[in-house]
Amino acid sequence: MKCSRITRMTVIALMVVTVASIGYAAGQREATAPEDLTLRVLFRAFTAYEPGSEVQRHMEDTLGFKIDFDVRPALEYVQATQTILASGDYPDIMEAWFADATREIRELAEDRVIIALDELLELYGPNVLEARPYEGNWYRPLPDGLTYSIPARFNTYGAEYLWFVRQDYLDNLGLEVPTTLEEFRSVARALTFDDPNLSGRDDTYGIDAGWPAHARSSMIQNVLAAHGVMMDHWQFVDGELTHWMVNPGTLDALKFMRELYLDGVVDPEFALQQRPAWLDNMRAGRYGMQWWWSTHIDANASEWWGEFVRNQPEARISFIPPFPGPDGELRMPGGGVEVRNPSLLIFDSTPEPNRVAAMQFVNYLGSEEGAITTAYGIEGQHHEWRDGELVSFVTGSEAQARAGTYLFAWIFRRTNFIATNALGHEWIEMYAPHVVRPIIEEVVPAQTEYGAVLNELAQSRFMRIQTERNLDVDAEWSDYVRVWLRSGGQEWTDQINAAWRASQ
């Protein structure tokens, strides 16, 4: 498996800063925490949590206060946070993940359950503001125009999701990495039907499609771009800004993916299987081309990727580049993939010293030193630099829990992916030059009111178009667009176009 070690970042230079230099606090107003202060933090865990880990103690020593982490399993987190919010027993700061984030954050702000963060950000959050430079990163739900949440994720390089292909499978079949839609179609069929793993069995699929919660992005982001559609963007169609969910090019992309699904080259279980089964299939090497997160292509940081490496030691991967659009240009959607989910909230019940400490904690996570330490641990103890490469000493989930690496990096990410490994650099170099910023990033009232419902409608209809046999696709699309517009989409469209005209 290539890239077991990590190349030093070329775009940021050496990010590790000694604690003595307090690099995370540059530009931040100093505030000394009371000696007995303990910050209560609620967040979701992707990996095992061990209280008092080495990275946790390092953060506490650096920040000057204790941190009490309430860690909940990721797959149960939405329900857990609803229970906590209903109880009224709030932490000081919480990673919020909601089924309808726009509405629920707005209601918490209206009810004064959470506080406006603008002054805290100005005084104690310079790294946070630096890491979220675009107005479109921020959600201000009330007429007062204040900031009530901090976007925990922001995709600096545009496409959060990527496609990779098993290069060893391609080599077995004498094939090249696909660079066009037609090549993608041809390679998908070969990786399904031509025994790419040389097992002599019918045990592979050309395309993994993730699982239902991520099927929208995993199946069609690159294919959408090839049809001229930027996912999550508004684009001009016949002189009017039109959302990607109802862009005519989206129908063409769905038809393309439908053809692949009906041909049998897409894992047929994706519409039903959940994440554990999907990860099992990945570890077993059943997929020739796979959707994946840009944040999980580093065995030193991601246990999921580490398990793939350990279970498929012979695997070599190559990234699939953006496909040419109708005009021959390569483009990928840029901007924050989701600026409200997850978000960080500070509660009105949080005492003033703890409010300051909460922002200092997030500011540390948003620093260069904090980003490296929470992902890879303490230099000299959990990793070291050898000939310009970062080499991790932490292997396996138990060692990762003791060290505390990777876990805390998800609370707030300076960038959605810290480009410290060779695969990360390769991905950035392939995608970053083609990132397109949204034409408009304004959040209008209709988006807050109807956005979650419209997204759910799109998810269900897109799945049906891609997978249901004996379906009149054009009639299904026409009906879907009518329902989308009637369910608030027309109001959203009108408000966006009015905002665009007012800005010119």
Alpha-carbon distance of 97 to 133, in angstroms, equals 22
Residue 160: predicted pLDDT: 63
Helical residues (DSSP H) of 28-133, grouped into ranges? 54-63, 77-87, 101-110, 118-124, 126-131
Please tell me the least confidently modeled range out of 80-84, 298-302, 466-470: 298-302
Q: Is the pLDDT of residue 11 over 70?
A: no
Dump the DSSP string for 126-188. HHHHHH--SGGG----STT-----EES---TTS-SEEEEEEHHHHHHHT-----SHHHHHHHH
Partnered with residue 391 across adjacent β-strands are 384
The per-residue b/e assignment along 74-111, b for 16 or more CB within 10 angstroms, e otherwise, is: beebeebbeebbeeeebbbbbbbbbebbbbbbbebbee
The pLDDT-based confidence of 334 (bands split at 50, 70, 90) is: confident
- pLDDT at residue 4 tops 60: no
Interior angle at CA 158, CA 254 and CA 292, nearest 5: 60
pLDDT at 212 over 60: no
Whether 149 shows a pLDDT value over 90: the answer reads yes
pLDDT for residue 74 is more than 90: no
pLDDT of residue 211: 58
Distance from CA of residue 410 to its chain's centroid? 10
What tens digit of pLDDT does each residue of 294-328 get?
Answer: 767 776 666 678 788 889 999 999 999 999 999 99
Euclidean distance between CA atoms 187 and 181, whole angstroms: 10
Distance CA 463, CA 465 (A): 6
CA nearest neighbour of 340 among 86, 148, 487: 148
Q: How far apart are CA 413 and CA 365, in angstroms?
A: 7
Split at pLDDT 50, 70, 90, the class of 339 is low
pLDDT above 60: residue 447:
yes
In single-letter form, the type of residue at position 451 comes to G
27: pLDDT strictly greater than 90: no
pLDDT of residue 500: 95
Q: In the chain, what percentage of residues exceed pLDDT 70?
A: 85
- Comparison of pLDDT for 469 and 6, the residue scoring more: 469
